[in-house]
Structure 1
């Protein structure tokens, strides 16, 4: 009898229509693009609520910015760095249970703003942080590794906590 109850949900869920995701780089129809856009908007709103609920339980103040991530520094008074400025930085990635995802921090030495590719939130925060300054970013999945993850330890649709340090 227990086998039937275990098997029944498998049958039900396997029969439901699952969305088809085309391979990366393929062409999508307007309808598919709208479905993707609606899914992203819905996911972002859900994560935004989850992150604001998480912030409400913290002892620290976080500031949301125009790009859509939160940072524990008020950067409104800081000057924005321009493309071409050289800097070095590192960051550690955590999930919202504060579990460190990678043992070693991601580092970049002597890179030029606007000439490297990193997470959108990291790139944006680097433009306002001064050398030696540290910040904690709360990043929705859309601004992190999105619907694909990083093909390693970060799964799809995972919001992240990023501890960023400008070293030079």
Structure 2
């Protein structure tokens, strides 16, 4: 009888519906779910900003905040001429974590991409709008502007801020 009760209890627990971490594709979030998500993102962003600022404080190189919520190693970058939608650019970049570990051996390279039609990270597009041919920059990017909650399903886990070393070709 004890075995039957134990088995029944385990079956009931096993059949209990788990709360989903994310709604199904096309699913609708309740206002409460939206608020939880918004607060999570806000707290994560604050935490990452503090971690990135601490990292910057331990570097010999200076980094400057950009309006899109990332940092770059070029002072007054956003004061330079901004490229308009439709202009083309070729570039490459390498991704690092904040331990300076290179995440992919081969740089990601994109040739003749039009501004306004980017399918790349927002911080990358934003910085490229101000960089000139053969110019290089280092970006410090919070996870929300990198690969976010889901990562890249390969070497970048969820909620991972990145160092991006970018070069205009």
**Superposition TM-score, scaled by structure 1 size:** 0.86
Partner SS state of residue 76, structure 1: helix
1:10 is aligned to none
CA contact (8 A) 2:95 2:104 kept: yes
In terms of Rg, which structure is larger? 2
Structure 2 match to 1:68: 69
Partner of 1:7: none
1:30 is aligned to 31
Gaps of 5+ in 2: 1-17
Partner of 1:137: 139
Aligned-pair RMSD on alpha carbons?
Answer: 1.4
Match of 2:93 in 1: 91
Residue 120 (str. 1) matches residue 122 (str. 2): yes
2:52 paired residue number = 51
Q: Please give the TM-score of this superposition, normalised by the length of structure 2.
A: 0.86
TM-superposed deviation, 1:18: 7.3
Q: What is the number of residues matched between the two proteins?
A: 151
Q: Secondary structure of the residue that 2:54 maps to in structure 1?
A: helix
Alpha-carbon distance between aligned partners in 2 of 1:55 and 1:109, rounded to the nearest angstrom: 31
Which 4+ stretches in 1 moved above 6 angstroms?
none
